[in-house]
A and B are shown apart, each in its own frame.
Chain A
Amino acid sequence: MTRSSAPATRRRDAKQSRTPYFVIGGIAAAVLIALVVALAAGGGDDDNTTTGGGNADPATTGTVAVSGNPLPQFTDTSDDPAVGMTLPTLEGNDQSGAPMTIGADGRPTMIMFVAHWCPHCQREVPVVQQWVDDGRLPDGVDLVSVSTAIDPNRPNYPPDAWLADEGWTAPVLVDADNSAAQAVGLSAYPFFVAIDGDGTVVLRTTGELTTDQLDAIASTLAQAPTGG
């Protein structure tokens, strides 16, 4: 009995002593396969989180010249000290490189600041565009946008491709160095500034707005002075 069980015990012990090497070998093989697949597959995210290098494209490198006093940093919509102040004039270029100015031009204007990498902006842009497409922007009110915080190392770059994909129709001022964002006291993205025709700030707010909130801002602006 003892003689017959000894070889079996040795075989079992030998099997158990070998087993971890099979486990380790399996893990090593799986890691090696993963490495080969990664090297063979090369680059390319499977979503919109592309990264890339910078270039001289006016849609990503344009800067804004600010004239006038900057607005205080935004903290809260209620009791905003910027309301009643004059928006500094923002002069720069749009995404095609053509000159563009935001300021007192006689027409009430809603200004939307967006960052290409901000998920809230990525959700809000189609909402606003649909709101515009539905004809809910009053005739006497303009909508313009500012593409700011542009960073080729961040996701969803470049911003002009993103906005084109969304069918964005509002003019876009390019603010690559955040000058415009700082001048209006931006504290978060997306950021909205509403001015009347004289360039006086009527309202500032931030975050994802519903279409009803957009309606409320637009109707306030439609009743605001047209300047001149």
Chain B
Amino acid sequence: MSTDQVSLFLGLLALLAEIATVVLVAALVVRAARPRTGWAAELLDAVRPVALGVAAVVAIVSMLGSLYYSEVANFPPCRLCWYQRIGMYPLAVILPIAACRRDWSVRWYALPLAVGAGLVSIYHVLIERYPSLESGSCDPTNPCSIIWVERLGYLTIPTMALSGFALIAVLLLLPKEIP
């Protein structure tokens, strides 16, 4: 696969992650507002048993994607990319272990990583769109404002990372027990 094909594949996965995140958040909101609503409770019932596993897969795929860009496509990670890696790579280790052990207490460790790195992703996306937020000029080596990849008009590398962090966070927020 070429870099363009891999980028499109990762971009489509990010799009799926965004759709899943929106649907799950909607289900959580509906269920909180109307506990007896059928579809939301049924959806959360269906997803919860596999939520940790799905979150682990999202983290692993995100890590492999970032490694592909830096090690195969030779896109050097910028400073903010490294901060996001600091959030994602530990998730790719602790979430699979938690999924195997069905250990929901992992959320106490994983959520801060996902939310913190997700905030960095938001800042990175803003810098891509408004380079002046970072500085008035480009670092000659590797400024964070470079858009290495852009798919579907908006999916850049930090946007894809944000999609992954958001889905992981929502999956970890699913209640342990569905009444």
Which of A's residues lie within 8 Å of B, judged by CB? 16, 19-20, 22-24, 27, 30-31, 34-35, 37-39, 41-47, 49, 51, 115, 117-121, 123, 149, 153-155, 181, 186-191, 206-208
Q: Say yes or no for B139: interface residue by CB 8 A criterion.
A: yes
Contact of A39 with B74 in the complex, beta carbons under 8 Å:
no
Chain A residues with CB below 8 A from B151, complex form: 45-46
Is B146 touching A154 in the complex (CB atoms < 8 A)? yes
Whether the Cβ atoms of A208 and B150 lie closer than 8 Å is no
Cβ contacts under 8 Å, B152 to chain A: 46
Are B4 and A208 in contact (CB-based, < 8 A)?
Answer: no
A189 to B140, CA, bound (A): 7
- In the complex, what's the smallest C-beta–C-beta distance from A99 to chain B, in angstroms? 26
Residue from A34, A42, A47, A188 within 8 A of B137 (CB atoms): A188
Residue of B nearest to A47 (CB): B150
**Min C-beta distance of A89 to chain B, whole Å:** 22
- Pick the 4 closest A-B CB pairs, nearest first: A43-B4, A207-B136, A38-B9, A34-B12
* Pairwise interchain contact A49-B6, C-beta atoms closer than 8 A: no
Q: Tell whether, in the assembled complex, residue B6 and residue A19 are in contact, meaning their CB atoms are under 8 Å apart.
A: no
Q: Which of B32-40, B41-49, B84-92, B101-109 contacts A (4 or more CB under 8 A)?
A: B41-49
Given contacts A46-B151, A154-B146, contact A188 B5 (CB under 8 A): no
B94 at interface (Cβ–Cβ under 8 A)?
no
Question: Which residue of A has the minimal Cβ distance to B57?
Answer: A27
A41 contact set on B, CB distance < 8 A: 5, 8
**CB–CB A155/B145 < 8 A:** no
Q: Report whether B131 and A34 are in contact in the complex, using a CB–CB cutoff of 8 Å.
A: no
In the assembled complex, the CB of A201 is this many whole angstroms from the nearest CB of chain B, namely 19
B131 to chain A, nearest CB (A): 4
In whole Å, how far is B51's beta carbon from the nearest beta carbon of chain A?
A: 9
Chain A residue at minimum C-beta to C-beta distance from B153: A46
A38-B1, A38-B5 are known contacts. Are A19 and B46 too (CB-CB below 8 A)?
yes
Q: Is there an interface contact between A42 and B5, defined as CB atoms closer than 8 Å?
A: yes
Q: Is the CB of A188 within 8 A of B12?
A: no
Q: Count B interface residues, CB 8 Å.
A: 39
Question: Known contacts A16-B45, A41-B5: does B13 contact A34 (CB below 8 Å)?
Answer: yes
Q: Which residues of B contact A120 (CB under 8 A)?
A: 131-132, 136-138, 145
- Report the separation of the CA atoms of residues A47 and B146 in the bound assembly, to the nearest whole angstrom: 13
Q: Which residues of B contact A42 (CB under 8 A)?
A: 2, 4-5
Q: Within 8 Å CB of A44, what residues of B?
A: 4
Considering the chains assembled together, what is the distance between the CA atoms of A23 and B140 in angstroms?
Answer: 47
Contact of B148 among A155, A188, A208 (CB under 8 A): A155
Q: Is the CB of B136 within 8 A of A45?
A: no
Q: Give bound CA distance, A112 to B132, whole Å.
A: 19
A30 to B136, CA, bound (A): 42
B67 part of interface (Cβ distance < 8 Å): no
1/0 per residue B115-140: CB within 8 Å of A? 00000000000001001100111111
Return A32 CB to nearest CB of chain B, in Å: 11
Cα separation A26 to B8 with both chains bound (whole Å):
20
Provide the bound-state CA to CA distance between A202 and B6, in Å.
49
Q: Specify which of B13, B140, B149 is in contact with A31 (CB 8 Å cutoff).
A: B13
Assembly CA distance A196 to B149 (angstroms): 41
Determine whether the beta carbon of B137 is less than 8 Å from that of A38.
Answer: no
- Identify the interface centre among A30, A39, A45, A189: most chain B CB within 10 Å of its CB: A45
Q: Contacts of A19 on B, CB cut-off 8 Å?
A: 45-46, 49
